[in-house]
Structure 1
Amino acid sequence: MSIVLVTAVIAALFLVIGAAEPLAARLRLPFTVILAVVGLLIGSGAIFFLRTDLTDALNPVAEVILALPIRSDVFLYVFLPTLLFQVTLEMNLRRMLDDWVPILVLAVVAVVAATFSIGYALSWAGALPLAVCLLVGSIVSTTDPSAVVSIFRSISAPRRLARIIEGESLLNDAAAIALFGVFMGFVAIGMPAPQLGEALARFPFLIFGGAAMGWLSARLAVWVMALFGRHDLALISVSVALPYLVYIAAEQLVGASGVIAVVVSGLTLNLTGPGRLPPQAWTNLREVWDLLAHWAGALIFILAALLIPRLLEDIRATDFALVAVIVAAAIAARAAILWGLLPLLTRLRLSPVVDRQYRAAILWGGLRGAVTLALALAVTESAAVPAEVRRLVGILATGFTLFTLLVQGVTLRPVIGWLGLDRLSPIDEAVSRQVVAVSLQTVREEVAHTTEAYALTHDIVRSEAKRFGERLKDAVEAAEASENILDRDRITLGLIALAGFERETILARTRERTISARMAVEILSNADRLIEAARSGGRAGYQRAARRAVGYGRAFRAAVTLRNRLNLSGPLMRMTADRFELLLSQRLILRDLDAFIDGRIRRIHGRRVADLLHELVARRIEGVETALEGLRLQYPGYAEKLERRFIRRTALRLEEREYAAMRDDGLIGAEAFTALMQDLAARRARAEARPRLDMALQRTDLVRQFPLFSDLDDTALRALGRALRTRYLDAGAVLLHRDDAARSVFFIASGAVELQSAGQSWRLGRGEMFGQMAVLMKRPRRIEVRAIAPSIILELDEDRFRSLLARSETVRDAVRASAERRGIDPADLGADRPGG
C-alpha cells in the first residue's frame, strides 16, 4: 500500500471534515449525521468502483479506503478515550451532581433494562438463542457520546437537559461494555441462557476498579504536571498521554472498566488541575483537547460509516423486521424508565423533578453511533462466534444505528422545537424587546458622540440617523407592547441577568488573576446554581441558592466528624482554608453587582425591581461578611494572611499592566520587557501559594483572645493551647446530654450554644464557659447543651481545668460569679481557693 496514497486519503478526510461543518449549518442538520452520510457514501463509492467495469482509474484509491485499518480496537482504544476525556474536561461536575440520580438511572438501569428488553423481544420474534439476543441488546443499548453531545450542543438545548444527556452518555458505555463482555463469553462458548445475576456480578469490580485506577493515575499526572511548572507543552503532552495509558492499564492490567477509568481521570484533572497548574497553561490544555476531540469525533463517524456497506452486504428481508423489533423494544424500555421509574423516584424524593419536555427529548435523543458499531465489529472479527451470528449481529447493530442517526438525529432538532425547548418563554421574549430598545438607545447616543468627535459629513449623518431612528422606533413600540409583564416575572428575569453578570465578572477576575482558578471553579458553580434557581424558583429560589453558597455542606460536616471522632484534621484544614478564600472572592464579586443593577437592570426593568435587587445583594454581602467574621474569630490571623495575599496578587496584576503599556508605548524594549516579566512571574508564583492553615497554632492565638485567660503568661497560654481539644459543632448538634458524666469543661471560641435544664434555658456566646459546676461538684450533668449556630468549642479535661483554676484568678472569679447566679456557695466548689 503506497504511503503517498494513504497520506492523500487521510488528508482528503480532513478536507471532508472541514467542509462538513459549514454544510451541516447550512442544511440545519447535526454535524455527526452529515459525517455519517458522507462516510456511507465514500464506503459505498469505494465498493462500487472496485466492482464496476466503467473505469479502473480510481481502483487504487478505493483499495486504500477499504484497506484502512478500521477495527474495533481502533475505535475503543484510540477514539473513545479521546472523546470521553475531552467531555469530562468541559463538564461542570458540581452542577452534574445536582442530577446524579437521573444520570445514574439512565446510565445503568436504563442500559440493563434496554439490554434485556431487546434481548427477550428478539428471542420471541426471531427464535434466536437468548444469549445471542442479549448480546445484540448489550451492543445497541449504549448511547454514543460523540453523537449525543455534539447534537445537543449544536441545537442550544437547555443546560440541564444537555448535562443529563452528557452524563448518561459518558457513563453508560461502561455498563454496556461490561454486559457485552459477559454475553460475548456466553455466545463464544455456546451457553444459551445466562442468568441476570451472573451478568451483573462483575459490575462492582468493573466500576470501582476503574474509578480507583482513574483517580490514582490522574493524581499522579497532576503531580508530574505541577513539577513541570511553566512548560506548557510538557503539561499538554502529559495530559495527552493520560487517557490512553489509563484506559489500557484498566482494561489489560487490572481487568476493570477502561471507560470508567478515563472518565474518572478526566473529572479528577478537571477538579484539581485549575488549582495546581498555571491559568494560561490550563487554558491552552483545554484548547488542545477541544481540537483533538473535534478531529476524533469527526473521524470516528466517517470511519465507522465506511464499514456500513460491508456490514450490510448480506442483509435479508427478514432482517428488516428484526431491526424494527429492536427499535420498538429500545424505545419502550427507555420510555418505561423515563415515565415509570424517574417519576416514582421523584415522588419518593430520591430524585429531582425531570420535566415532561426534558424526558421526551431524552427519549428521542438516545442516538447510537461509533461505539455500537465498534462492538458489533468486535463480534464480526471473532472466529469463536458462529458465522451466522456474526452476520446477524453486524446487520442488526448497523441497521439500528442508521435508524437512530438518520431518523432520530435528523428529526431531533424539530422535536426540540415542537417541545418548545429552543424558544424563549413569553416573558423572556417580552423582556428581550425591552433590552433591544434600551441597547439601541445607548448605541444612538454613542454614535451621535462619535459623529461629533470626528466631524463627519452632515448629509451622511442625517441619512444614517434616519434609518437608525426607524429601527429604534420599531423597537420602542415592541417594548411598549410588552409592558404588561408582572413585577414578579421582572424580578425573576432581573435575578437571572444579575447572576449571569456575576458569572462573567468571575471569569474576568480569574483572567486577571485576582481570583485563583481553583476558587473560580467553585464560585462559577455557585453562579450557575443561582441562575437555575432563579429561573425555576424566582426570588425564593435565588435566596435559597445564595444561602447555600455561604452555608456548610455535607462534605464540611463529614470533615468535622473526622476531626471530632478520629482526630484527623487534614480534610477540615483544607476545607476551612478553601472557605476563607471562597468567601473573600465572593465578597469581591458582590461589590461589583450594584453598578450593574444601576447601569443596566434599572433601565430595563425599572426602579422598583432595581431597588429590590439592591436589597437582595446587600443581604448576600451581609451573609458573606457574617461568615467571614465567624472565621476570623475562629482563626485570628489567617484571614489577614489571605487578605495580604490578595493585595500582593492585585499589585502584581497592576504592575504587569503597567509594563505592557510601557512596551506598547515604546518606552521599554522587548528584551527589558521579557526580563521584567520573568521577574514578575517568579514573584507571582510565590504570591500564588496559599498560606497553610495550622489549627494548632491558630488555637493558641485564639486562646490569647479569651478574657478568661488574660492573666496567664505566654508559657501558660501555650501549654493551655496544647491541652485544649477543639470540637466543631453544626447548628442543632447536641454537645452534652443530661446525666452524662462530668469529665470536661468547655469554652466557646465562636458561635453560640443553648443550655436547657429543668424546663429553663439560657444561651451563652463567644468567650463564655460552661460545664464547670458539674466538674467541681463531682456530679452528673443536669443540662443539655445544643449549638444554635456553627460553633467551635474548646474542651479542657477535669485535671487540667483544676490546674488552670489554681493558676488563674480571672477563671476563679468567673466560676464564683457563675455559682452565685445559681445560688451555690462558692466555698462548696473550692473555687475561692487557689488550690481548689
Structure 2
Amino acid sequence: MHNTFIVYIILVLVILFLVMLAQKIKVSYPILLVVAGLVISFIPGLPPIEIDPELIFVIFLPPLLYEAAWKTSWKELWKWRRVIASFAFLIVLLTSGVVAVASNWLIPGFTLALGFLLGGIISPPDAVSASSILQSVKVPKRLISIVEGESLLNDAASLIVFRFALVAMNKGTFAFGDAVLNFFVVIIMGILTGIVIALVFFAIHRYLPTTPHINIVLSFVAPYAMYIVAEEFHFSGVLAVVSGGLFLSVRSHLFLDHRSRIQGWNVWETISFVLNGLVFMLIGLELPVVIKDLGDVSLRTAIWYSAIISVLVIILRIACTFGASAFTVWVSRYITTADNRPGWRGPLILGWTGMRGVVSLAAALSIPVYLDNGSRFPERSLILFITFSVILVTLVLQGLTLPTVIRWVNYKDPLDTMPEEEQDAAVKKKMSQAALRVLKEQHADKLQSNSLLQSLQHRLEAEIDLLSAVPGTPGSETDSTHPEHFIPHYRQVYIELLNEQRQLLFKLNHKAEVDESIIRKYLSLLDIEEEKLFVQYDHAH
C-alpha cells in the first residue's frame, strides 16, 4: 500500500509536468498524457500497473460526470436538444450495431454479442479531450455546447448497450423485446433516481445549517450516492449522476451562498483536473499489460483489427454528423429547429471530435475474466487491446489534427449575432447601469449625505466608462477623450495600489497584535480585485 501510494504521488507530479509541457507546445494535454504513459510503461524495471475496473467506475466516473453536468448549460442543452439526443442515442446505437457486424465479419470466432459488447465500449466520444482542444481554438459556442451535451448522455447509452451485451454473453441468448423494454426502464428509472437523490441533497443544503466546507463535502458525496443507489437497483448510474447534477446546478443559487460557490468551484476544478490526468496517464501505462495478455492472437493481427475498427468508427461518426445535418434540413420544413441550415462546416468539425477516452477505458476493464458458468470470457484480451488502440488512435490522430481542421474549415456560426467578448462586456455594463439606476432612483436622499454611497456611485460610473471602451458595445466611441485611451494607465496605477496594499498587509502580519486570519482574508480580497481588473481589461482589448 505504501509503495502504491508513492507511485501515484510520482504519477501526479509527472502529470503536472506534462500538462505544463502540453501548454508550452500547445497540444491538448490528454494526448500528451496517453503517449507519455505508453512511453513510460516500456522503461526497463518499471513494475506493471494494472487498473482495477472498480477504481475507474466507482471512484473516477461519478465525480467526473457530476462536474461535467455542473459545467453544462441547461439553456444550451435544451436549445440543441434534438442534435444532442441524436448524437447521444441514435449514433451510439448505430455505431454499436455497425461495429458488431464488422467485427463479426472481420474476426474469426467473434460473435455478434461480442461485437455489440465492443461497439458499446468504443461508441462514446470523450468530452474532456475534445473540450480542451475546442477551448484553445476559436470556435463557435454552439459546437462546444453540442460536444459537452452529447458527452453527458452518450456515456449512458453506450454503457446500457454494453450491459445488455454482457448479459447476452452470460445467458447465451438475446431477447430483443425484453432488451428494448429494459433499455427504457434503465434510462427512465436512472434519471428519476438521480433527481430524487438530488432533491434530498437540495433539502439538506437549503434547510440545514451548513457551512461552505460542509457544502463542498456534500457535493462530493452526492454523485457517489446517485451512482451507487442507481446501480444497486440495476438502473443507469451514469444517467442518475448526470440528471441529478443538472438538477442541482440549475438551482445552485437557491441553496449555496457566494463563498460555497467560489470555494466549491475551485476545489472541483482541481479535483477534476487531477482525476482526468490520472485516467489518461493510466491508459498509456496499461497498454503493455494488455499486449502481454493477447494469448493466441498475434500482435500484428491485433493491430490490423484495431486499425480497421478505428478507421471505421472515425468514418462512421463523420457520416452520422452529415446525416444529422441533412435530416435537420428536411425536418425543419415541418417543425421549428434552432438552425435549419447547418451546412457542412459544423458537422465536419463535430465529426472530427470523436476522440475516445475515460468511459471506453472503464467499460473495457470491467469485462469479467470469467463468465457466470465458470469458463473464461472469450476474446477478453483482444477486446481490451482494440479498445486501447481505438482510444490511442483517435486521441492522437484526431486530437492533433482537430485544430488544423477547425482553422481550415473557418466555421462562422450564422446564429452568433455578437462576439462573446462583446456580449460579456455588454452584460457587465448593463449590470452596472442597473445598480447605478437603483442607487439614484431609490436611494437619492441617502446618496446626498452618505459619502460611502457616493463612492459606490463613482465606482459604478467608472466601470461603465471602462466597459464602454469595448468596440461593439452600446455607447462605445473612438475619440481621444474616450476612456479606452486611459485604460493602460488605469490598470498600471491600480495594480501598483494593490501591490502596495499587499506589502502593507505583509508588514502588519509581523505585528503580534494582528491576527493572521484577517491578513489572509484581505489578501484574498485583493486577489479577487486584481482578477476583476484583468477581466475588465481583457474586455476592453
Fold match by TM threshold 0.5: yes
In percent, how many aligned pairs have the same letter?
25
C-alpha contact 1:21 1:31 (8 A) present in aligned 2: yes
1:249-268 alignment to 2 at 5 Å? 249-252=229-232, 254-268=233-247
Q: Given the alignment of the two structures, is residue 245 of structure 1 paired with residue 225 of structure 2, yes or no?
A: yes
**Which is bigger in relative contact order (C-alpha 8 A, separation at least 6)?**
2
Provide the C-alpha distance between the structure 1 equivalents of 2:138 and 2:120, rounded to a whole number of angstroms: 30
- Per-residue CA distance 1:738-776 (angstroms, 9 max, x = gap): xxxxxxxxxxxxxxxxxxxxxxxxxxxxxxxxxxxxxxx
Among residues 338, 352, 356, which one is paired with 2:338 in the alignment?
352
Whether 1:23 aligns to 2:21 is: yes
C-alpha RMSD of matched pairs (Å) = 3.6
Question: Take 1:304 and 1:503, find their aligned partners in 2: how far apart are those partners?
Answer: 42
Q: Which structure 2 segments of 5+ residues have no match?
A: 440-459, 480-500, 522-541
Contact 1:121 1:325 in 2 (8 A): no
1:352 match: secondary structure? coil
CA drift at 1:311: 1.1
User: How far is the alpha carbon of 1:81 from its aligned partner?
Assistant: 1.1
Query: 2:426 pairs with 502, 520, 523, which one?
Result: 502
Contact 2:198–2:247 under 8 Å retained in 1 = yes
Q: 2:387 aligns with which of 397, 417, 420?
A: 397
Give the CA deviation at 1:277. Answer: 1.7
**Contact 1:377 1:394 (C-alpha < 8 Å) held by counterparts:** yes
Displacement after TM superposition at 1:118 (Å): 0.9
1:230–1:278 contact (8 Å) kept in structure 2? no
Cα deviations by residue, 1:50-69 (Å, 9 ceiling, x for unpaired): xxxxxxxxxxxx34x53x6x
1:156-212 Cα distance to aligned partner (Å, 9 max, x none): 532211110011111101100000010111122333xx4654443322211111111
| Residue 338 (structure 1) aligns with | 321
* Deviation, structure 1 residue 382: 3.8
Of 330, 349, 366, which residue of structure 1 is paired with 2:354? 366
Give 2:306's aligned residue. Answer: 323
List aligned pairs for 1:162-561, cutoff 5 A. 162-191=144-173, 194=174, 197-229=177-209, 231-252=211-232, 254-313=233-292, 314=294, 315-349=298-332, 350=335, 351-353=337-339, 354-379=342-367, 381-384=369-372, 386-421=376-411, 499-505=423-429
Partner of 2:534: none
Displacement of 1:246 after TM fit?
A: 0.9
Partner of 2:63: 82
TM-score normalised by structure 1 residue count: 0.50
Q: How many residues align?
A: 454
- For residues 391 and 496 of structure 1, the distance between their equivalents in structure 2, rounded to whole angstroms, comes to 47
Q: 1:359 to 1:507 in 2, by over 3 A?
A: farther
Question: What is the distance in 1 between the residues matched to 2:350 and 2:360?
Answer: 18
> How far did residue 139 of structure 1 move?
0.9
Other-structure match for 1:155: 137
Corresponding residue number in structure 2 for 1:455: none
Question: After superposition, what is the alpha-carbon deviation per residue over 1:723-744, rounded to whole angstroms, capped at 9, x for unaligned?
Answer: xxxxxxxxxxxxxxxxxxxxxx
**2:429–2:464: 8 Å Cα contact kept in structure 1?**
no
How many angstroms apart in 1 are the aligned matches of 2:79 and 2:311?
Answer: 31
Distance 2:313 2:178 in 1: 22
CA shift, 1:240, in A, is: 0.8
Q: Distance in 2 between matches of 1:604 and 1:319?
A: 62
1:117 to 2:98 alignment? yes
Work out the CA distance in 2 between the residues paired with 1:140 and 1:511: 51
Name which of 10, 30, 33 aligns with 1:32.
30
Change (3 A) 1:390 1:414: same
- Return closer, same or farther for 1:497/1:291 CA change in 2, 3 Å cut-off: closer
Matched residue type, 1:407: L
- Cα pair distance change 1:319/1:502, threshold 3 Å: same
Q: Aligned pair in 2 of structure 1 residues 241, 511: CA closer, same or farther (>3 Å)?
A: farther
Structure 1 portions without partners, runs of 5+: 50-61, 426-490, 516-588, 608-659, 678-836
Quickly say closer, same or farther: Cα 1:250–1:156, change in 2 above 3 A: farther
Higher strand share: 1
CA–CA distance in structure 2, aligned partners of residues 32 and 393 of structure 1: 22
Looking at structure 1, the residues matched to 264 and 314 of structure 2 have their Cα atoms a distance apart, in angstroms, of 39
Partner of 1:149: helix, strand, or coil?
Answer: helix
In structure 2, relative to structure 1, the CA distance for the partners of 1:182 and 1:508 (3 Å cut) is farther
User: Which string of whole-angstrom CA distances, capped at 9 and with x for unpartnered residues, describes residues 691-736 of structure 1?
Assistant: xxxxxxxxxxxxxxxxxxxxxxxxxxxxxxxxxxxxxxxxxxxxxx
How much has 1:275 moved relative to structure 2? 2.2
Q: 1:207 to 1:599 in 2, by over 3 A?
A: closer
Tell me the amino acid that sits aligned with residue 424 of structure 2: G
Preserved contact between residue 322 and residue 348 of structure 2 (Cα < 8 Å) = no
Find the residue that maps to 2:158 and give its secondary structure: helix
- Indicate if the aligned counterparts of 1:83 and 1:146 stay in contact, CA closer than 8 A: no
Q: Is the CA contact 1:178–1:203 (under 8 Å) kept in the aligned structure 2?
A: yes
Tell me the CA shift for residue 335 of structure 1.
2.8
- What secondary structure, in the 3-state scheme, does the structure 2 residue paired with 1:379 have? coil
In our comparison, the structure showing a higher alpha carbon Rg is 1
Select the residue among 101, 106, 117 that pairs with 2:82: 101
Match of 2:536 in 1: none
TM-score by length of 2: 0.75
Secondary structure in 1 matching 2:80: helix
Q: 1:382 to 1:418 in 2, by over 3 A?
A: farther
Question: 1:78-123: per-residue Cα shift (whole Å, max 9, x none)?
Answer: 1111111111112221122111110110000000000001111122
- Match for 2:357: what amino acid? G
